Amino acid sequence: MDAKLERMQQLAAIITEHNYRYYTLDQPTIDDADYDKLYDELVALETETGQVLPDSPTQRVGGELLAGFEPYKHRARLWSLDKAQNAEDLLTWNTRLLKAIADYNTKHAEEEPLPQPSYVVELKFDGLTLNLTYEDGQLVQAATRGNGTVGEGILQQVRTIRSVPLSIPFTNGIIEVQGEGIMQLSVLAKYNETAVEPLKNARNAAAGALRNLNPKTTAERRLNAFFYNIGYADGVTFENHREMQQFLLENRFKVNPYVTYMEQIEDVVTELEKITEQRAQLDYLIDGAVVKVVDMRTREALGYTDKFPRWAVAFKFEAEETTTVLESVSWEVGRTGKITPVARVEAVELAGVTVQNCTLNNIGDIERKNLKFALGTPVTIRRSNDVIPEILGKADEEEGAEIVYPAMCPSCGTELEQRGAHLFCNNKLACQPQIIGRITHFASRDAMDIDTFSVMTAEQLYKDCFVRDPADLYALTFDDLIRLERFGERKANKLLEAFEKSKSRELSAFLYALGIPNTGKSTTRMLADHYGSLDALMGATAEELISLPDVGGIVADSIVTFFNDPIALTSIERMRALGVKAEAEQKLVVREDSVFSGKTVVLTGTLPTLSRDEAAAKLEACGAKISGSVSKKTDFVIAGDKAGSKLTKARELGITVIEDEEELLRLLGEVSG
């Protein structure tokens, strides 16, 4: 065998093993730097030889844009589950189960009787159902549930999920493995820290990524998956659920650690109460639990109704979906000119709150959910994670009045342009909501951090001082401000001081403040670190930018287009003339002798005096690596007031917790012990 090909196979096997230990077992055995060396060596060999192994770990980053999804007929039907909303419903299901077992034993007296049922309880994940097909040990297809019989092939999207094995030890036939694609809440929170368009909830984030025709978008979401069933098996059989679960584990599938076996239905009821209480502590969404009969022979004997297996039931939490009437749709203008529809519904109680406004993302969302002719008709709405509820779709087939898409900007009357599923107003210079939005963003904490500034300040300066661009802020004088309503001498001077202080903000904050489309905080920080000066970045080409980490074609084009816009260039030139420095911050000298050197640290809750960013900066200066989620790799958790599930998990894992800010500062070397 060619030596290079042999080395590629060795590297693929080693990297796959490390991926399994990191993403599936949560037990990493190699540090990031050494892992990167192995990965880079494999990429270099693939480039040099022009060959890529079928299950190469380099193929998880997402391929080219797909033309569409192909239908896939499941080898075994994916069934829905009957629902139990409370303990009474569960006991009613169990009574039917016992009767069905007794009836079967009576009718098949010559056979060995079915045993008294024992039960397994598993979590019911709130994501997107996956059905993976493995043939001779290789992942050959992945599909959505669809209607249970036919789904959509999403193999390229699923290959980006690093906890999904591309090959498995079982090579004796074909199996279909069912699971749930999810986005962990900690991953969602980290994603939203830098996202231009934050994702509203983890369920939609996962479903939207897996049904996105661009696998690179799927890869960016860093999804995970749990597996719990084998719907079709050729070459292997199981006597009970334990055997099937063990088979999944042995074949390197990620199985959720919560699985409970019980002999009595009363114990199941008690366990479901515990799950209901503890759901908020999980790092992923669940909408209930699933109760199944453990014995496979009993499952086969009892079979299915037209819709459900008789041997399983879903215990659902309090409904977070309901039906109401869609009354109207209004259109709001954002700082980038994007026009967003907002739905007004008939007031309804949902998960403890009164709901009147609902999310509709764009006109594509309206079309996809068949809402174009839904005004005045019942719609189904869902509330998740305390965010504004979203409309899922029509509740029946009734046709209502049409939602009319605006042709002109609802604020300034400019003709709108459609780009993809979104409408945009291109009037940057005279569209009030855009201008106020840009100025408010420019002054925000993560941007220029102009103290005491708010959207109300932006509105007042727009109206009374003719502020139309962020550069106008630095031209304001004491005489301009003192004449404003609710502006006394102290307030005027304080705002002028805040303007002056902001002129020294580092380059990364300035770039973020500019609001370059499709760039968030992490991207602007990377750009500032790489280029070191504003002028160097402004002269960068798309080809140069694409070579940088996490910069794709869309982001590169956005940056180049922004710095070629005469309006943006004029604004930047004025700001620099008025004293805005926009210089890269000095490289941090990282200590190597601190207790935090080389350690992974998670921050949670609110500290008395330090902000989250300030604490993170001090820890990074001591050599710490800041993480957004708690795992076995975590060394310290810094817990402030109102610390939640991360603190609970840290204690469960025995991780060192620092709950006192003074103790943290002492360890950082900033106060004496």
Give catalytic residues, as residue numbers: 124
Note the Cα 154 to chain centre separation in Å. 18
Spell out the residues 6+ positions from residue 137 whose beta carbon is closer than 8 angstroms to its own. 167, 168, 169, 170, 171
Report helix, strand and coil shares of the chain as percent, to nearest 5: 40, 20, 40
Spell out the residues 6+ positions from residue 160 whose beta carbon is closer than 8 angstroms to its own. 60, 61, 62, 215, 218, 219, 223
Beta carbons of 628 and 654 less than 8 angstroms apart: no
Q: Which two tokens stand for residue 130?
A: 């996956």
H or E segment and range at residue 299 = helix 296-302
Beta carbons of 148 and 94 less than 8 angstroms apart: no
Spell out the alpha helix ranges (H) of 55-178: 87-107, 155-158
What is d(CA 165, CA 590) in angstroms, rounded to the nearest whole number?
Answer: 38
CA 281 to each of CA 123, 277, 303, 475, 647: distance values in angstroms, whole numbers, following the listed order:
13, 9, 36, 50, 10
Helix axis angle for 455-464 and 432-443, nearest 10°, is 130
CA angle 83, 206, 249 (to 5 degrees): 75
H or E segment and range at residue 217 = helix 215-220
Which segments within 407-512 are labelled E, that is strand? 417-419, 422-424
Give the three-state DSSP class for 428: coil
Which segments within 294-337 are labelled E, that is strand? 312-316, 321-333
